[in-house]
Amino acid sequence: MAGLAESGSNPDVELLYDINGLAKDAPHWFDRVMEYVGEYGVLLGLVLAVLWCWWTVRRRGAPDAASSVAALVWAPLAAGIAVLVNVPIRGFVERPRPFNDHQGLEVLIGGKTDYSFVSDHATIAMALGVALFVANRRFGLIGIGLALLEGFCRVYMGVHYPTDVVGGFALGTAVALLLSPLAMALLTPLMSAIERSPRGGRLIRARGRSGDDGSGALLRGARKDGSGDEERDLAA
């Protein structure tokens, strides 16, 4: 993989220069904004999206709220597992950062001394986005959109090749989807037990929300009273 980065005619390198070249033409303040968004802002936005979705599940109090919360708990766990999987991948590939092999890049953030492939930020962002999509399609589309923005920012900042980002997207998606059935099998009984507890139950369902009618339920198979199928928000 490192050898691919050395060829100036490589499409990966050409796309790197095209995207990073936008940073040279942009105002200084815009580059600072992109630096913050790419390093911290998108990940913070994804965490807030997960919390917002959890609050919605809790407030609605659907009968299957425990399953929905279990899917949301899986989101940060999937991101953490994906990063751990990336550790041996980085050590095996040993691809240098693009600014180490190519001149003329506008590097917006310094101190990056680790290997480039696969991008941790892209991996975390897509794992969160896809796992959120598994729980709720509407919130999940927002999460995936933020993950795509994260990938663009990492190349714009000059700290990753486009293929580093694509690899991160693939890794995050694979972990979030492939391990989701096992995670749900383990987490759903746990969330159900918490729901039955006097105090912990408030984390799953707001006080006074019995959810007997199933309205607002987030999981597939739920129906609204007198209406057709509710949107199937559990995508996997």
pLDDT digits 0-9 by tens, 31-85: 999 999 999 999 999 999 999 998 888 888 677 788 889 999 999 999 999 999 9
Segment (H or E) for 192: helix 180-196
Question: Rounded CA gap, 157 and 150, in Å?
Answer: 10
pLDDT digits (tens, 9 = 90+) for 94-125: 899 998 888 888 888 887 888 889 999 999 99
> Nearest CA to 204 among 220, 219, 193, 215?
193
For the chain, counts of helices (H) and of strands (E): 9, 0
According to the model, what pLDDT value does residue 73 have?
94
